[in-house]
Amino acid sequence: MTNPFSPLKEKIFVRLYLSQTISLLGDAFTWVGIALLAFQFGGSHSAEILSIALTLRVSAFIIFGPYAGVFADRIDRKKIMYITHFVRMAIVGCLPFVTAAWQIYVLIFFLNIFNAFFTPAYQAALPQSIHIKKNYSSGIALSNATNQLLGVLGPGIAGGVAAWLGARQIFFVDAASFIIAAVFIVTLPSLLVIKKSSVKRKIPKVWTDVLKGTHLLFTDKAVRFALLIEFVSAIAGAQILVNTVGYIKGQLHLTDKHYGYVMAAFGIGAAIAAFASGNFDKSKNRIASLMIGGGLVCVSISFGNYVAFMPLLILWLIAGFGQTLAEMPSQILIAEKIPKEEHGKVYGAHFAWSHLWWAFAYPIAGYVGIHFQSREFLIGAGISLGLFVTIILLFHPRKA
């Protein structure tokens, strides 16, 4: 069996991993703080403020992600990561002083522009930080599992700190997390893949590289199939993120605590899958992982409207497990199948396209949740299953 913690033996990976872990905890502080600010400004309309903030977040990723990937191939990735950390620290440091909702929107949009530049650089740096190729999968799995675990535990920690320090003061803790994470990054060696050559060569225009990143993403059959399965996962996953609260509180007449338990089950399932994938997601099984994951997340939500609280916990645990199996192979396939010198632009393109799927998925989930209450999960499952079958019939690669 593969040891999921084997990449921790590599010093460069450990520093990169610790910086990302601290940043992820800081992100939890950001969004808990934003939610509390939204309630301060909007009261019963706080959901509107949050939805606009989330839309701006995804929009920044879609617009700037491909360009960020190009820069990750042209500029030392270490510099990109620590510069974006310091800039985000400054932006987060402004959030305690906002006096109107529009200021939140402006700061969130700019914050996520720099998130968009950080993420492809980090994803492309991960394989560079691991010298043993067979550990690529474990390193990416460990990174994703930590992401999922902090997605569950982070808001609870942030909520406790907010209760102690206050809603606005937690942004100072958030800003400090960026500084600490940046220190780990500064200690890294340079992470620039493209080596300087004595022979002068023409550097392609940025837009040319942006198109090349998307071209490479869709040219490899296995990578393309993985990206399209992520679309299925987004359609099904958006139903969970958007409509679970309405089902728990509006149809089952339960409490906020019950909603928290259900969403924690979803996150725990995702974390379990991320850790387990180091053994399951071998090269020969990667397409199977995508199909099993896509199928699980679709089927599990189809029963959502017809079960009580305890069965829903189990279904959402399975859905989280399936979603990770459906989403994680993309990063590993890019690391293994795309030349290292092209990683940045391809990860940037993947970052933009995968968030574009969610930009489609959120409105679909919202529409279904408003117009088809008591059947929203069944209809969402039908849409995602139909898309799943279509993708398998049209785009299934013959081999991984």
The per-residue pLDDT for range 32-57, each reduced to its tens digit, is 787 778 777 876 566 567 667 877 88
Residues 6 or more apart whose CB falls under 8 angstroms from that of 312 comprise 247, 248, 262, 304
Is the Cβ–Cβ distance between 242 and 362 less than 8 Å?
yes
138-176 pLDDT per residue, tens: 776 677 667 766 765 666 577 677 777 777 888 898 899
Rounded Cα distance between 394 and 400, Å, is 16
Least confident of 85-89, 147-151, 181-185: 147-151
Handedness of CA 114, 115, 116, 118 (dihedral sign): positive
Q: Do domains 1-191 and 204-395 have the same CATH topology?
A: yes
Check whether 389 has a pLDDT greater than 80. yes
Task: Give the residue, 293 or 191, on which the prediction is more confident.
Answer: 293
204-395, CATH topology level = Growth Hormone; Chain: A; (1.20.1250)
**Is 0.75 topped by the overall pTM?**
no
Domain ranges of the chain: 1-191, 204-395
1-191, CATH topology level = Growth Hormone; Chain: A; (1.20.1250)
Task: Give the residue, 47 or 340, on which the prediction is more confident.
Answer: 340
SS3 188: coil
When pLDDT is averaged across residues 110-139 and rounded to a whole number, the result is 77
